Amino acid sequence: MMYFLIRRTVGFIATLIAVSIVVFAVMNILPGDPALTILGMDATDDALAALREDLGLNEPLLARYFGWVAGALTGDFGLSHSFRVPVSELISERLAMTISLAVAGMLLTLLIALSVGIYAASRHGKAGDWVTMFISQLGIAVPAFWLSILLVLLFAVNLRWLPPGGFPGWSEPVAAMRSLILPTVALALVQSAVLARVTRSSALEVMRQDFTRTARASGLSQRRILWRHVLPNALVPIVTIVGMQFAALVTGTIVIENVFYLPGLGRLIFQSIANRDLPTVQALVMLFAIIVVTANFVVDLLYVLIDPRLKARA
């Protein structure tokens, strides 16, 4: 176990270093100049030169990179080129929004997918199975932004039950929750369609095994068999997919935040790339990388919890 943890930590750090180098290189190779983006088409050459000096763009590439690394190690991610405020401030004011959305989306995904998947497995080959699997197939095919627009048209424009977008902040908890309902549903429906299918096939596999038949033979109720015996044994592939989906959910918020004009990290990274705002992009990509790597790490730990046989191998 100790060896496993050390190996993972080393991998974690190596991933972050690789990501930081790639982002730095890509942002510098990509055509575009932050000073020109800020000052626009009428800017004079001396104004551009003054701004470049001001932003520290005249320093050599390597010096800038190591300067950034040194700052990042002490928790200082520098000043945003375009906003001219500390990057940490930009991220912290938006983090709550994106995390709330991703976590709510994940919970709703699990709720829908596990119920639908187990239900479909229990109705294997019957109408209920066909109908739910048909709907989930549709769910996989529908793009999240399109579903979002449909949800907005129905619940915000026609019925006027929920706001069409925006986020008032957690200082108004009721309004904040209301404004997260539609984005969460839009995010979760598409994700849960994938997960429901995995849940169903994994459950079906387990249901064919001897211990399920034994449980049934010993007179346990169908519900008890499904939730106490089938689901726990079907969890390994489900958890694998959930781990991948959490990463997809975090990145999926970029699209959802645009459609619902939510002030989250997704919109920030979008805007920062357009503005060639290297310090902000760098910090955000690192953050996303940390989230994804952590999610994978948690999945690995969960495997061990779910299936004690893996402990020996780990």
Partner 1 sequence: MMHVQKSLKFAAFALALGLSATAASSADLVIGMQQEPTSLDPTADATASIDAMMTMNVYEALTIIAENGEVQPNLATAWKVSDDGLTYTFTLAEGVKFHDGTTLDAQDVIFSFERAMAEDSVNPSKDIFKPIESVTALDAGTIEIKLKNKDAFFLFNMGQGDSAIVGAESVATNNAKPVGTGPFKFDSWTRGDRLTLVKNPDYRDADAVALDKVTFRFISDPAAATAAMMAEELDAFPGFPAPELLEQFEADPRFRVNQGNTEGEVILAMNNAKPPFDNVEVRRAVSMAINRDEIIDGAMYGKATPIGSFYPPHGKAYVDLTGVYPPDTAKAKAMFEAEGVAGQTMTLRVPPFPYAMRSAEIIQAQLADAGIDAKVENVEWGFWIDEIYKKHNYDMTIIAHTSPNDMGNFARGPKYFYGYDDPKMTALWESISTEADPEKRNALLKEGQELLTEQAVHGFLFQLPLLGVFRNEVQGYWTSAPVLYTPLKGVSNG
Give me the residues that bind partner 1 (CB under 8 A), please.
30-33, 36-44, 46-47, 50-51, 53-54, 80, 82-85, 90, 93-94, 149, 152-153, 156-157, 160-167, 169, 174-175, 177-178, 258-264, 267-268, 271, 273-277
Sorted by sequence, the CB contacts under 8 Å of residue 254 that are 6+ apart come out as 266, 267, 269, 270
DSSP at 126:
S
- Give the DSSP per-residue string, 71-122: HHHTT---B-TTT-SBHHHHHHHHHHHHHHHHHHHHHHHHHHHHHHHHHHHH
> Using CB atoms within 10 A of its CB, is residue 226 exposed (0-12), middle (13-18) or buried (19+)?
buried
Question: Rounded to the nearest whole angstrom, what is the least distance from the CB of residue 268 to partner 1 in the complex?
Answer: 6
Nearer Cβ to partner 1, position 31 or 308?
A: 31
Handedness of CA 200, 203, 207, 212 (dihedral sign): negative
Nearer Cβ to partner 1, position 157 or 305?
A: 157
Question: Rounded to the nearest whole angstrom, what is the least distance from the CB of residue 96 to partner 1 in the complex?
Answer: 12
Question: Rounded to the nearest whole angstrom, what is the least distance from the CB of residue 271 to partner 1 in the complex?
Answer: 7
DSSP at 209:
S
Question: Rounded to the nearest whole angstrom, what is the least distance from the CB of residue 288 to partner 1 in the complex?
Answer: 17
Question: Rounded to the nearest whole angstrom, what is the least distance from the CB of residue 48 to partner 1 in the complex?
Answer: 8
CA dihedral 113, 114, 119, 123 (to 10 degrees): 90
Nearer Cβ to partner 1, position 22 or 49?
A: 49
Nearer Cβ to partner 1, position 24 or 303?
A: 24
Nearer Cβ to partner 1, position 132 or 148?
A: 148
Distance CA 212, CA 305 (A): 21
Distance CA 80, CA 244 (A): 31
Nearer Cβ to partner 1, position 133 or 268?
A: 268
Question: Rounded to the nearest whole angstrom, what is the least distance from the CB of residue 127 to partner 1 in the complex?
Answer: 25
